[in-house]
Amino acid sequence: MIVRPGSLTLAVAFVAAVSSCAALAGETYAFPAGFLWGTATAAHQVEGNNSNSDWWDWEQVPGHIKHNDHSGLADDHYHLFAADLALARDLGNNAYRFSVEWARLEPEEGRFDEREAAHYRAVLEACKANGLTPIVTLFHFTLPRWLAAKGGWLSPSTPALFARYAAFAAARFGDLADLWCTLNEPVVYLGAGYLKGVFPPGILDLRQALIVMENLARGHALAAKAIKEHDRKSLAKNGPPAVVTIAHHMRVFDPARSWHPIDIVATRVVDYIFNKAFLDAITRGRLYFNIPGFPRVDVVIPGGKHSLDILGINYYSRDLIKFNPRSPLLSDQLHPRDAQLTDLGWEIYPEGLYRLLVGTWKDYGLPILVTENGIADGSDSKRSEFLRQHLQAMARAMKDGVPVLGYLHWSLLDNFEWAEGFWPRFGLYSVDYATQQRRPTKAAEVYRQIIGAGKIDLGKSEDLGPEDEAE
């Protein structure tokens, strides 16, 4: 187990997680004291009127968003945050992950808006008032318009600009926030924006995507350094040291044909590109690609080595990989024919969370926070069991020695789901966008009961394997 000074405060939780194995009674797992139970949101998806960002501009082009939706007022969380945080408290939550919006805080290059900083301080103070540990995300897919015009994450100057923004955030919010998430889903961002073209800037170019990956890694390392430096110098800091993480989207990949050597190799390639390459860059300090058919990359990331105190994992689903030489990644992503699917067509695969937690702990030796896990389920017919089964999978990993610090469900509220628009429903509270009324789903009560009990039955492993049943 690797523990560095910045993670010592939260380390109490995972030490308790390991020792609490003795608290097992039959097939029930008791969660440790100090475990973080929460939900997550992102500024552009819930706040509304984020009109100074590249995403606002992207939405104005017909065809970019399904049904030509615009984020518009979204959930009006910018004004309703106090009531929304009370909803989180009523779930029994003791943590809340949200993002501060770069486009609001730095509306013009080099000019920071103190009024917007005061707004986010009010959000942080409301977190504290509701007993919620704030987890502050600095970059969740959106850029200020001025930075997008300079090339965004393609520009070699962006990592330093991101660090300057991180330093400002640390100076304004560091007395209220201890847990910082620099980047949300960097590989999803570069894939959607630079390989598929469904996020701004809408580019389809592998070489540019790899440049973005390098700059995101450099930006994370510089931002982490800026946060830690401010934390060390702060005279007003009376609490625990700052802890730095990212929210890394990880998926389970299995070969569509478990007997087929080419599918097996393709699966390993996809797993490395999606799950491991970026993590290697910010834990081992080296971004490395040497895969036939892809551009070769081998660069050192200054400050990247050991730049994480803990690892945040976003987990949603599994893909079965079938070799396809005509595909950009030389493979197709499939699911078993009999799989139960979310509204977005993703396989519901709770065992994947167990597998990722165990494997990532083995590979990287960092305590883990589940920063997102949730389901698009407009009928609210699958969410309760999805939640229960994924918490069972997480508990089994903890029983087996994985130091999991907490679980944050995506999402507290229905929200604007990027290129999909408003139709996918991820919220524990559903939102009527015409009236801004929030209503609890059935899963909200399930979550409240599990948190209140502080324990869960472990359930059964359901790793059925893909065999030949992919489609």
Residues noted as catalytic: 185, 372
Kindly calculate the radius of gyration of the chain based on its CA atoms and give it in whole angstroms.
21
**Residues contacting 49, CB < 8 A, separation 6+:** 72, 73, 74, 78
Annotate the chain with three-state secondary structure. CCCCHHHHHHHHHHHHHHHHHHHCECCEEECCCCCEEEEECCHHHHCCCCCCEHHHHHHCCCCCCHHHCCCCCCCCHHHHHHHHHHHHHHCCCCEEEEECCHHHHCCECCECCHHHHHHHHHHHHHHHHCCCEEEEEEECCCCEHHHHHCCHHHCCCHHHHHHHHHHHHHHHHCCCCCEEEEEECHHHHHHHHHCCCCCCCCCCCHHHHHHHHHHHHHHHHHHHHHHHHHHHHCCCCCCCCCEEEEEEEEEEEEECCCCCHHHHHHHHHHHHHHHHHHHHHHHCCEEEECCCCCCCEEEECCCCCCCCCCEEEEEEEEEEEEECCCCCCCEEEECECCCCECCCCCECCCHHHHHHHHHHHHHHCCCEEEEECCCCCCCCCCHHHHHHHHHHHHHHHHHCCCCEEEEEEECCECCCCHHHCCCCCCCCEEEECCCCEEEECHHHHHHHHHHHHCEEECCCCCCCCCCCCEC
- CB count in 10 Å sphere of residue 201: 17
The identity of residue 223, as a single letter, is A
**Cα–Cα distance measured from residue 50 to residue 142, given in angstroms and rounded to the nearest whole number:** 10
Is the link from the previous residue into 411 a cis peptide, with omega within 30 of 0? yes
What is the C-alpha separation between 454 and 450, in angstroms, rounded?
6
Pairing of strands 404-410, 36-40: parallel
CA atoms within 13 A on the CB side of 466: 26
